[in-house]
Amino acid sequence: MLDNELHQAALEFARTLRHAPAVAAYRAATEALDANPGAQALLADVREQQSTLARMQQTGLSPTQLQIDAFRRSQAAIRTSETIMASLRATNEVKAFLPVVARHLSKSLGFDYAQLVAPQSC
């Protein structure tokens, strides 16, 4: 069991991380995306089309021009969705931010935090 001081430090770190601008923006963008059925439908449509096109490619079939055009229209609709684009920007920002946090944490701890938490291979 962690001693109380270490436990409190971990909680404070989590609170601070939660309020970091990149993390806060990511959480807000994710909540907005989750609350937007139209954006969810656009994403589901693109995923389904991607899946269909990938299956066709795997079996050696070529998509029709209608399928290609429909996929391009769906991609364009996603690019015009502010909710989806805000979510993508926030995701990219948090992906860039978290390795910086891990480096600072490693420096503070005196050992490689990322290596400590990385999945172990067989």
For residues 62-87, b (16+ Cβ closer than 10 Å) or e, as one string? eeeeeeeeebeebeebbeebebbebb
The class level of CATH for 4-102 reads: mainly alpha
Q: Where are the domains of the chain?
A: 4-102
- Digitized pLDDT (tens) for each residue of the chain, 122 residues in all: 558 887 788 888 889 999 999 999 999 999 999 999 999 999 999 999 999 999 999 999 999 999 999 999 999 999 999 999 999 999 999 999 999 998 888 888 787 877 777 777 76
